[in-house]
């Protein structure tokens, strides 16, 4: 059982490597290996989650048997289990979905995509469970490299957008690493628990302060916190749908998680709020980001660009939760990690489905799509209801908790920002809903959309209800159900996972 945390990333890494080797021979086998690895990793995460919630104790694993703080350790506690389950779960769904989508959008790259996906999930999962500051950097970069591979295979501008992302990511990673260096040289350790134990005496030190700032800055860059978000729109727009569907929901979130981890378990309580105005800065940047993302999203014509700007706003909600630094606000932010992952993942999967079936990517072209792809559009409505925050979907609850947290912290401006942004998101999403369900004169329900870049009538055989193949439909259906169920049962997640996670805030 104590070996369990290690299984999560290692299974994925092995699966990734194997998938690469085998995939060059047989695409199907390569895909299957990657998928199996992710499924195993997911199951292990779930087992770990159950174990941690029932025993209340984190599971610790020392790599190579070297005892921490000398060695590197993995710590699967409530928050970590929460993140890995999310990351691996999304990984499973997207891997099921990917083959058809990739074949359609970026044929010939499939052999490389599956291993990259496995490695991406490995990196993010590893980031979530590591108990070592430098190890976090390593996994962060593993994930980043895998992401670059996934994103670059997109259409025309893909390589360039990814290059820009790479440069910025390198800076972000670099700042984080520099920060780790400052901390190490002041404290003498890079093990999180050890640093936490030793820091309190050294808080006045300038290098500790610089270290903290640099680490947070680096992670904020990776997170896409306004105004450090500028790489996001181009990257998501030019990426293949399945890559975007994997990266958008989870990548930025794990960086946000890393900031939370720093705030709660590494630095002493209050350091981010009283000693340094880190929380407040994040808060104001988040508030700006929320508004910015929501406003700019309104004018977008390309579906994926709209989702990208929306994501800028949404990750800022998590940032706001961090900034509020009170239990319910932070719970709102953490819950939003899962909620947004589910909602955005669903939206990107739907986008890929639309692209598969019809080849369309621009919203104005999608008029009347409800006739051709009704079930997909119903899923879209569910996603929209969740994004806007209509109960009882998941999106409603995280927003309410954030609002409550804002009131409790007397942060009335932020409170107004949350309220306003909900309204704004309603505008750009409902505009699309209405568009899609309009009765268009002469809209033929042709089965052959190869003219617009979609599939031909032949390829459409075997599709569910004439829309998309089962391998794409099932993940969409699962996510739609999840969006509602996570909403209705959100308090289970809060009780079991998030409340213990934020316990340090209450002076623990």
Which residues lie near another protein (CB under 8 A)? 134, 137-138, 141, 144-145, 148-149, 152, 156-157, 159-160, 162-163, 166-167, 170-171, 173-174, 177-178, 180-181, 184-185, 190, 302, 328, 331, 385, 388-392, 396-397, 399-401, 403-408, 415, 418-419, 422-423, 426-427, 430-431, 434, 438-439, 488-491, 494-495, 499
* Minimum CB distance to another protein, residue 340 (Å): 18
Task: Pick between residue 35 and residue 343 the one whose CB is nearest to another protein.
Answer: 343
Task: Pick between residue 21 and residue 419 the one whose CB is nearest to another protein.
Answer: 419
CA proximity to 351, closest of 450, 443, 243: 243
- For the purposes of burial, counting CB atoms within 10 Å of the CB of 104, is it exposed (0-12), middle (13-18) or buried (19 or more)? buried
> Measured between alpha carbons, how far is residue 179 from residues 51, 188, 215, 217, 378 in Å?
34, 13, 5, 9, 47
* Minimum CB distance to another protein, residue 1 (Å): 29
Task: Pick between residue 93 and residue 328 the one whose CB is nearest to another protein.
Answer: 328
Task: Pick between residue 280 and residue 420 the one whose CB is nearest to another protein.
Answer: 420
> Measured between alpha carbons, how far is residue 68 from residues 61, 73, 152, 189, 262 in Å?
9, 6, 38, 10, 18
In the block, residue with structure tokens 């999560």: 8
Task: Pick between residue 157 and residue 200 the one whose CB is nearest to another protein.
Answer: 157
CA distance 238 to 123: 23
CA distance 438 to 62: 58
* Minimum CB distance to another protein, residue 29 (Å): 26
CA distance 457 to 132: 53
Q: Report yes or no: 320 and 403 within 8 Å, Cβ to Cβ.
A: no
Task: Pick between residue 85 and residue 238 the one whose CB is nearest to another protein.
Answer: 238
Task: Pick between residue 114 and residue 396 the one whose CB is nearest to another protein.
Answer: 396
Tokens linked to 277: 């105005």
* Minimum CB distance to another protein, residue 167 (Å): 5
Task: Pick between residue 372 and residue 399 the one whose CB is nearest to another protein.
Answer: 399
Euclidean distance between the first and the last CA atom of the chain, given in angstroms as a whole number:
27
* Minimum CB distance to another protein, residue 390 (Å): 5
* Minimum CB distance to another protein, residue 127 (Å): 14
* Minimum CB distance to another protein, residue 499 (Å): 7
Tokens linked to 235: 């990257």
Task: Pick between residue 45 and residue 189 the one whose CB is nearest to another protein.
Answer: 189
Assign residue 401 a region (left: φ > 0; alpha: ψ between -120 and 50; beta: otherwise).
Answer: alpha
* Minimum CB distance to another protein, residue 105 (Å): 16
CA proximity to 182, closest of 218, 216, 206, 164: 206
Eight-class DSSP state of 373: S
CA proximity to 42, closest of 122, 148, 135: 122
* Minimum CB distance to another protein, residue 366 (Å): 15
> Measured between alpha carbons, how far is residue 393 from residues 123, 335, 342, 493 in Å?
30, 12, 11, 14
């Amino acid at each position: 059982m104590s070996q369990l945390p290690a299984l999560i990333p290692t299974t994925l890494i092995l699966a990734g490597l194997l998938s690469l080797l085998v995939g060059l021979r047989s695409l199907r086998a390569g895909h299957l290996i990657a998928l199996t690895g992710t499924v195993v990793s997911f199951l292990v995460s779930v087992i770990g989650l159950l174990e941690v919630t029932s025993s209340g104790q984190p599971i610790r694993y020392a790599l190579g048997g070297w005892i921490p703080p000398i060695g590197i350790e993995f710590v699967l506690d409530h928050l970590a289990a929460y993140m890995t389950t999310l990351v691996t779960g999304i990984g499973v769904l997207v891997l099921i979905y990917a083959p058809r989508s990739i074949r359609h959008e970026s044929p010939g790259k499939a052999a490389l995509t599956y291993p990259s996906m496995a490695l991406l999930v490995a990196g993010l999962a590893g980031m979530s469970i590591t108990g070592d500051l430098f190890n976090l950097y390593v996994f962060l970069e593993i994930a980043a490299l895998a992401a670059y591979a996934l994103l670059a295979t997109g259409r025309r501008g893909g390589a360039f957008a990814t290059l820009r992302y790479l440069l910025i990511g390198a800076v972000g990673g670099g700042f984080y690493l520099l920060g780790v260096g400052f901390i190490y040289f002041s404290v003498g350790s890079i093990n999180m628990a050890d640093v936490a134990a030793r820091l309190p005496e050294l808080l006045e030190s300038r290098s500790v302060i610089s270290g903290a700032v640099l680490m947070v800055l680096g992670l904020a860059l990776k997170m896409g916190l306004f105004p450090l978000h500028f790489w996001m729109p181009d990257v998501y727009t030019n990426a293949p749908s399945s890559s975007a569907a994997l990266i958008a929901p989870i990548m930025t979130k794990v960086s946000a998680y890393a900031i939370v981890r720093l705030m709660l378990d590494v630095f002493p309580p209050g350091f981010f709020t009283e000693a340094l105005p880190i929380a407040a800065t994040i808060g104001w940047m988040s508030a700006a980001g929320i508004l910015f993302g929501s406003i700019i999203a309104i004018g977008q014509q390309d579906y994926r660009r709209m989702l990208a700007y929306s994501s800028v706003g949404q990750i800022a909600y998590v940032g706001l939760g961090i900034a509020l630094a009170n239990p319910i606000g932070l719970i709102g932010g953490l819950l939003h990690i899962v909620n947004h992952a589910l909602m955005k993942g669903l939206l990107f999967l739907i986008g890929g489905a639309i692209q598969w079936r019809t080849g369309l990517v621009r919203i104005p072209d999608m008029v009347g799509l409800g006739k051709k792809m009704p079930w997909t559009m119903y899923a879209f409505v569910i996603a929209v209801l969740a994004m806007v925050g209509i109960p009882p979907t998941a999106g409603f609850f995280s927003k309410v908790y954030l609002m409550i947290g804002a009131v409790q912290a007397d942060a009335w401006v932020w409170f107004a920002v949350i309220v306003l942004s909900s309204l704004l998101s309603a505008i750009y999403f409902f505009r699309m809903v209405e568009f899609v369900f309009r009765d268009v004169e002469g809209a033929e329900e042709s089965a052959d959309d190869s003219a617009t870049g979609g599939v031909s009538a032949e390829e459409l055989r075997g599709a569910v209800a004439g829309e998309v193949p089962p391998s794409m439909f099932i993940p969409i259906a699962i996510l739609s159900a999840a969006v509602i169920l996570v909403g209705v049962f959100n308090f289970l997640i809060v009780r079991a996972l998030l409340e213990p996670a934020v316990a340090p805030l209450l002076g623990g």
